[in-house]
Amino acid sequence: MSVLVVTGTDTGVGKTVFAAGLAGALGAHYWKPIQAGLEPEGDRDTVAALSGLPAARILPEAYRLTTPASPHLAARIDGVEIKLARLALPQVDGPLVVEGAGGLLVPVSETLTMADLFAYWGQPVILCARTALGTINHSLLSIEALKARGIPIAGIAFIGDPHAENERIVPHLAGIASLGRLPLLDPLDASRLAAAFAAHIDLSETFNRR
Protein backbone atom coordinates (compact mmCIF):
# COMPACT_ATOMS: atom_id res chain seq x y z
CA MET A 1 0.00 0.00 0.00
CA SER A 2 1.31 3.46 -0.87
CA VAL A 3 -0.17 6.49 0.87
CA LEU A 4 -0.35 10.14 -0.16
CA VAL A 5 -1.66 12.64 2.36
CA VAL A 6 -3.29 15.77 0.95
CA THR A 7 -3.05 18.88 3.08
CA GLY A 8 -3.41 22.57 2.35
CA THR A 9 -2.28 26.02 3.32
CA ASP A 10 -5.80 26.69 4.63
CA THR A 11 -9.35 25.43 4.59
CA GLY A 12 -11.10 25.90 1.25
CA VAL A 13 -7.97 25.88 -0.92
CA GLY A 14 -9.20 22.95 -3.01
CA LYS A 15 -7.84 19.88 -1.21
CA THR A 16 -10.97 17.83 -1.83
CA VAL A 17 -11.12 18.62 -5.54
CA PHE A 18 -7.40 17.89 -5.88
CA ALA A 19 -7.73 14.68 -3.84
CA ALA A 20 -10.62 13.55 -6.04
CA GLY A 21 -8.48 14.09 -9.15
CA LEU A 22 -5.52 12.36 -7.51
CA ALA A 23 -7.47 9.36 -6.26
CA GLY A 24 -9.18 9.03 -9.64
CA ALA A 25 -5.86 9.23 -11.52
CA LEU A 26 -4.26 6.59 -9.28
CA GLY A 27 -7.33 4.35 -8.98
CA ALA A 28 -6.79 4.79 -5.25
CA HIS A 29 -8.94 4.52 -2.16
CA TYR A 30 -9.85 7.86 -0.54
CA TRP A 31 -10.12 8.51 3.21
CA LYS A 32 -11.11 11.67 5.10
CA PRO A 33 -10.46 10.65 8.69
CA ILE A 34 -12.09 13.67 10.33
CA GLN A 35 -15.02 15.42 8.66
CA ALA A 36 -16.19 18.58 10.42
CA GLY A 37 -19.37 19.85 8.79
CA LEU A 38 -21.88 17.60 7.03
CA GLU A 39 -24.03 20.12 5.12
CA PRO A 40 -24.59 20.33 2.20
CA GLU A 41 -22.26 17.33 1.93
CA GLY A 42 -19.02 15.97 3.36
CA ASP A 43 -15.78 15.73 1.39
CA ARG A 44 -16.38 12.01 1.00
CA ASP A 45 -19.54 12.72 -1.03
CA THR A 46 -17.71 15.30 -3.15
CA VAL A 47 -14.95 12.81 -3.92
CA ALA A 48 -17.51 10.13 -4.74
CA ALA A 49 -19.04 12.53 -7.28
CA LEU A 50 -15.79 13.92 -8.74
CA SER A 51 -13.30 11.05 -8.72
CA GLY A 52 -15.12 8.60 -10.95
CA LEU A 53 -14.18 5.90 -8.45
CA PRO A 54 -16.55 3.11 -7.40
CA ALA A 55 -18.29 3.79 -4.07
CA ALA A 56 -16.33 1.05 -2.33
CA ARG A 57 -13.10 3.02 -2.84
CA ILE A 58 -14.41 5.93 -0.77
CA LEU A 59 -13.81 4.80 2.80
CA PRO A 60 -16.00 5.86 5.75
CA GLU A 61 -14.66 8.61 7.99
CA ALA A 62 -13.37 7.80 11.47
CA TYR A 63 -15.14 10.89 12.82
CA ARG A 64 -18.18 12.63 11.32
CA LEU A 65 -18.78 15.88 13.17
CA THR A 66 -21.78 18.08 12.51
CA THR A 67 -20.32 21.56 12.87
CA PRO A 68 -18.27 23.23 10.10
CA ALA A 69 -15.52 24.38 12.45
CA SER A 70 -12.08 23.42 13.64
CA PRO A 71 -12.27 19.67 14.44
CA HIS A 72 -11.40 20.21 18.13
CA LEU A 73 -14.41 22.52 18.46
CA ALA A 74 -16.71 20.45 16.26
CA ALA A 75 -15.84 17.41 18.41
CA ARG A 76 -16.51 19.29 21.64
CA ILE A 77 -19.92 20.45 20.34
CA ASP A 78 -20.83 16.85 19.45
CA GLY A 79 -19.50 15.56 22.79
CA VAL A 80 -16.86 13.44 21.06
CA GLU A 81 -13.19 12.98 22.00
CA ILE A 82 -10.92 12.49 18.99
CA LYS A 83 -8.33 9.84 19.78
CA LEU A 84 -5.19 8.85 17.89
CA ALA A 85 -6.01 5.19 18.42
CA ARG A 86 -8.99 5.51 16.05
CA LEU A 87 -6.92 7.30 13.41
CA ALA A 88 -4.61 4.53 12.26
CA LEU A 89 -4.38 4.41 8.47
CA PRO A 90 -6.80 1.89 6.98
CA GLN A 91 -5.16 -1.04 5.23
CA VAL A 92 -6.18 -1.25 1.59
CA ASP A 93 -4.90 -2.89 -1.56
CA GLY A 94 -3.19 -0.30 -3.77
CA PRO A 95 -2.75 3.41 -3.20
CA LEU A 96 -4.56 5.38 -0.51
CA VAL A 97 -5.24 9.12 -0.68
CA VAL A 98 -5.90 10.71 2.72
CA GLU A 99 -7.27 14.25 3.15
CA GLY A 100 -6.67 16.33 6.25
CA ALA A 101 -9.04 18.95 7.66
CA GLY A 102 -8.05 22.57 7.11
CA GLY A 103 -4.33 23.36 7.33
CA LEU A 104 -1.44 21.81 9.23
CA LEU A 105 -1.77 23.34 12.68
CA VAL A 106 -5.50 22.86 12.95
CA PRO A 107 -6.25 21.21 16.31
CA VAL A 108 -8.14 17.96 16.38
CA SER A 109 -8.14 17.95 20.20
CA GLU A 110 -6.58 19.94 23.06
CA THR A 111 -3.31 18.06 22.53
CA LEU A 112 -3.19 16.98 18.87
CA THR A 113 -2.91 18.87 15.56
CA MET A 114 -3.33 17.66 11.99
CA ALA A 115 0.47 17.90 11.65
CA ASP A 116 0.90 15.60 14.66
CA LEU A 117 -1.33 13.13 12.91
CA PHE A 118 0.72 13.36 9.71
CA ALA A 119 3.95 12.85 11.68
CA TYR A 120 2.38 9.80 13.36
CA TRP A 121 1.54 8.33 9.95
CA GLY A 122 4.97 9.27 8.50
CA GLN A 123 3.63 9.19 4.94
CA PRO A 124 4.42 11.71 2.16
CA VAL A 125 2.30 14.83 2.07
CA ILE A 126 1.16 16.93 -0.88
CA LEU A 127 0.60 20.57 0.06
CA CYS A 128 -2.26 22.23 -1.86
CA ALA A 129 -1.83 25.97 -2.19
CA ARG A 130 -3.64 28.81 -3.88
CA THR A 131 -1.84 30.61 -6.69
CA ALA A 132 -3.23 33.97 -5.57
CA LEU A 133 -1.62 36.79 -3.59
CA GLY A 134 -0.73 35.67 -0.06
CA THR A 135 0.19 32.13 -1.05
CA ILE A 136 3.96 32.60 -0.74
CA ASN A 137 3.84 33.19 2.99
CA HIS A 138 1.15 30.58 3.69
CA SER A 139 2.96 27.97 1.61
CA LEU A 140 6.43 28.56 3.05
CA LEU A 141 5.10 28.55 6.63
CA SER A 142 3.29 25.27 5.95
CA ILE A 143 6.44 23.73 4.46
CA GLU A 144 8.45 24.85 7.51
CA ALA A 145 5.89 23.14 9.74
CA LEU A 146 6.20 19.92 7.74
CA LYS A 147 10.01 20.02 7.76
CA ALA A 148 10.15 20.81 11.49
CA ARG A 149 8.28 17.56 12.18
CA GLY A 150 10.26 15.47 9.70
CA ILE A 151 7.14 14.80 7.62
CA PRO A 152 8.08 13.68 4.09
CA ILE A 153 6.96 16.16 1.41
CA ALA A 154 5.90 14.75 -1.96
CA GLY A 155 5.49 18.24 -3.39
CA ILE A 156 3.30 21.29 -3.69
CA ALA A 157 0.26 21.48 -5.95
CA PHE A 158 -1.08 24.89 -6.87
CA ILE A 159 -4.76 25.50 -7.47
CA GLY A 160 -6.19 28.50 -9.28
CA ASP A 161 -5.45 30.89 -12.09
CA PRO A 162 -1.87 30.89 -13.39
CA HIS A 163 0.70 32.95 -11.49
CA ALA A 164 4.11 32.06 -12.90
CA GLU A 165 6.18 33.81 -10.23
CA ASN A 166 4.31 32.41 -7.22
CA GLU A 167 4.46 28.95 -8.79
CA ARG A 168 8.25 29.35 -9.24
CA ILE A 169 9.40 31.04 -6.05
CA VAL A 170 7.68 28.81 -3.50
CA PRO A 171 9.15 25.45 -4.58
CA HIS A 172 12.48 27.20 -5.30
CA LEU A 173 12.81 28.69 -1.79
CA ALA A 174 11.47 25.55 -0.11
CA GLY A 175 13.57 23.14 -2.15
CA ILE A 176 10.60 20.90 -2.90
CA ALA A 177 9.00 19.60 -6.10
CA SER A 178 6.07 21.31 -7.77
CA LEU A 179 3.49 18.90 -9.10
CA GLY A 180 1.89 21.62 -11.21
CA ARG A 181 -1.24 23.72 -11.09
CA LEU A 182 -4.83 22.55 -11.23
CA PRO A 183 -6.90 25.26 -12.93
CA LEU A 184 -10.29 26.36 -11.67
CA LEU A 185 -12.87 24.38 -13.63
CA ASP A 186 -16.28 25.71 -14.56
CA PRO A 187 -18.25 23.57 -14.77
CA LEU A 188 -16.56 21.20 -12.34
CA ASP A 189 -17.40 17.56 -13.00
CA ALA A 190 -15.66 14.21 -12.95
CA SER A 191 -14.68 14.06 -16.61
CA ARG A 192 -13.35 17.64 -16.73
CA LEU A 193 -11.44 17.09 -13.49
CA ALA A 194 -9.85 13.88 -14.77
CA ALA A 195 -8.80 15.62 -18.00
CA ALA A 196 -7.43 18.70 -16.20
CA PHE A 197 -5.59 16.57 -13.64
CA ALA A 198 -3.94 14.50 -16.39
CA ALA A 199 -2.99 17.61 -18.36
CA HIS A 200 -1.67 19.76 -15.49
CA ILE A 201 -0.45 17.55 -12.63
CA ASP A 202 2.77 15.59 -12.95
CA LEU A 203 3.08 12.75 -10.45
CA SER A 204 6.18 11.18 -12.00
CA GLU A 205 8.63 13.00 -9.73
CA THR A 206 6.51 12.18 -6.70
CA PHE A 207 6.85 8.50 -7.28
CA ASN A 208 10.45 8.63 -8.55
CA ARG A 209 11.56 10.32 -5.31
CA ARG A 210 10.03 7.67 -3.12
Ligand X SMILES: C[C@H](N)[C@H](N)CCCCCC(=O)O
**Residue ranges at the known binding site for ATP:** 12-17, 99-102, 183-185
As annotated, the binding site includes 12-17, 99-102, 183-185
Closest CA to 117 of 132, 130, 104: 104
Cβ neighbour number for residue 69 with a 10 Å cutoff: 17
Contact positions with ligand X (CB under 6 A) in 43-82? 68-70
Measure the CA angle with vertex 67, ends 137 and 99; round to 5°: 50
Contact positions with ligand ATP (CB under 6 A) in 156-175? 159
What is d(CA 34, CA 63) in angstroms, rounded to the nearest whole number? Answer: 5
100 forms part of the interface with ligand X (CB under 6 A): no
Q: Which of 15, 29, 44, 72 binds Mg ion (CB under 5 A)?
A: 15
As annotated, the binding site for Mg(2+) includes 16, 99
Nearer to ligand X, 74 or 156 (CB): 74
Nearer to Mg ion, 68 or 122 (CB): 68
Nearer to ligand ATP, 41 or 172 (CB): 41
Question: Residue number with the shortest CB distance to ligand X?
Answer: 102
What is d(CA 52, CA 20) in angstroms, rounded to the nearest whole number? Answer: 8
Stretch that binds Mg ion, among 12-20, 130-138, 163-171, 193-201 (CB under 5 A): 12-20
**Is 32 an active-site residue?**
yes
36 forms part of the interface with Mg ion (CB under 5 A): no
- In the chain, DSSP assigns E strands to 3-8, 29-31, 34-36, 63-65, 96-103, 125-130, 153-159, 178-182
Q: Which does 119 bind (CB under 5 to 8 A by kind): ligand ATP, ligand X, Mg ion, none?
A: none
Angle between helices 15-26 and 43-50 (to 10 degrees): 50
Selected catalytic residue, list 32, 44, 72, 138: 32
Angle between helices 135-148 and 114-121 (to 10 degrees): 50
184 forms part of the interface with ligand ATP (CB under 6 A): yes
Which residues fall within 8 angstroms of residue 82, CB to CB, at 6 or more apart? Answer: 34, 63, 71, 72, 75, 108, 109, 112
Where do contacts with ligand X occur on this chain (CB under 6 A)? 11, 36-37, 68-70, 101-103, 106
Active-site annotation, residues: 32
